[in-house]
C-alpha cells in the first residue's frame, strides 16, 4: 500500500452527483473505471498487485447503498482486486487513506523465510513513530494470509506473485551491483515508484539495507 494522488475530475464528480439523484443511479460508469485505472496504474490500492479482476471499491462503506453520499463520492472510490475487496468488505472503517497519506511511511512491509522449505511469512509492522489506527495493518495481514479456505488460496496466489516480483527486483539490483551500469538506475527507480507492482515491499528492501539505502533511497519519488 502506497500513496496514490487522485485526479480531481470535475466531469466525473458532476456525473456522480447526477447519478446520485436517480432511482437506479450508477457509480461504476465507464469514465470512473478509466480514471481509476489511470490513477492507480491498474493496481489494487490494498495489496499492490495488478488488478486482473478489478473492482471499484468504496473506501468508506456505503452500507448497501444506504449512505448515498459515500456511494457516489468520487473521493471514496478506489481500484481494488477481487481478493482484497472481498476481505475488506464493510469491516474496516479506520484505514489510512492512501490518496492523502503515505502508508509505507507508517508501515514496514517485508518477507521473512520460515523453517519449512519454500515457505515465507509476510511481515506488516506498524512503525513506533506511527499513530494510525491498527485497522490498516490488520487488513493487510488478512489480505496476505486469507481468512477462509477460499481466501487462503487467493492469498497464496498473491504471495507467489509477490515473491516472483521481488526475485526479479533482487536480480535487477544484483545486476547493477555486478556491472555498475548507471543506466540500470532508471530501471530501479521505476521499480520503486507507483507504476510497479508491490512497490511498498521493494521500498522496504531498500530502507532495511545499510548497503542499498544510500544507493537507492533517493530514487523514491513520492511527494504529497
Q: What is the pLDDT along the chain (224 residues), one digit of tens a residue?
A: 999 999 999 999 999 999 999 989 999 999 999 999 999 999 999 999 998 889 999 999 887 768 899 999 999 999 999 999 999 988 888 999 999 999 999 999 999 876 665 678 899 999 999 999 999 999 999 999 988 888 999 999 999 999 999 999 999 999 999 988 888 999 999 999 999 999 999 999 999 999 999 999 999 988 65
pLDDT score for 223 = 63
Q: What's the distance, CA 45 to chain centroid?
A: 3
Q: How many angstroms separate the CA atoms of 101 and 202, rounded?
A: 18
- What SS3 state is found at 79? strand
pLDDT score for 79 = 97
pTM for this model (two decimals): 0.92
Q: How many angstroms separate the CA atoms of 5 and 154, rounded?
A: 28
Amino acid at each position: 500500500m502506497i500513496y496514490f494522488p487522485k485526479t480531481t475530475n470535475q466531469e466525473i464528480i458532476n456525473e456522480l452527483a447526477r447519478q446520485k439523484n436517480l432511482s437506479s443511479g450508477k457509480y461504476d460508469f465507464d469514465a470512473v473505471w478509466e480514471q481509476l485505472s489511470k490513477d492507480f496504474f491498474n493496481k489494487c490500492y490494498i495489496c499492490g498487485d495488478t488488478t486482473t479482476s478489478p473492482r471499484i471499491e468504496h473506501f468508506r462503506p456505503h452500507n448497501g447503498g444506504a449512505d448515498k453520499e459515500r456511494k457516489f463520492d468520487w473521493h471514496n472510490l478506489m481500484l481494488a482486486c477481487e481478493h482484497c475487496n472481498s476481505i475488506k468488505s464493510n469491516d474496516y472503517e479506520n484505514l489510512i487513506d492512501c490518496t492523502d497519506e503515505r502508508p509505507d511511511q507508517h508501515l514496514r512491509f517485508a518477507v521473512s523465510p520460515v523453517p519449512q522449505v519454500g515457505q515465507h511469512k509476510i511481515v506488516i509492522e506498524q512503525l513506533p513513530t506511527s499513530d494510525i489506527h491498527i485497522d490498516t495493518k490488520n487488513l493487510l495481514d488478512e489480505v496476505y494470509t486469507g481468512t477462509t479456505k477460499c481466501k487462503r488460496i487467493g492469498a497464496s496466489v498473491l504471495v507467489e506473485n509477490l515473491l516472483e516480483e521481488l526475485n526479479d527486483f533482487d536480480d535487477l539490483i544484483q545486476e547493477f551491483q555486478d556491472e555498475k551500469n548507471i543506466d540500470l538506475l532508471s530501471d530501479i527507480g521505476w521499480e520503486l515508484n507507483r507504476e510497479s507492482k508491490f512497490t511498498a515491499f521493494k521500498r522496504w528492501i531498500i530502507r532495511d539495507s545499510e548497503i542499498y539505502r544510500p544507493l537507492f533511497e533517493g530514487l523514491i519519488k513520492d511527494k504529497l
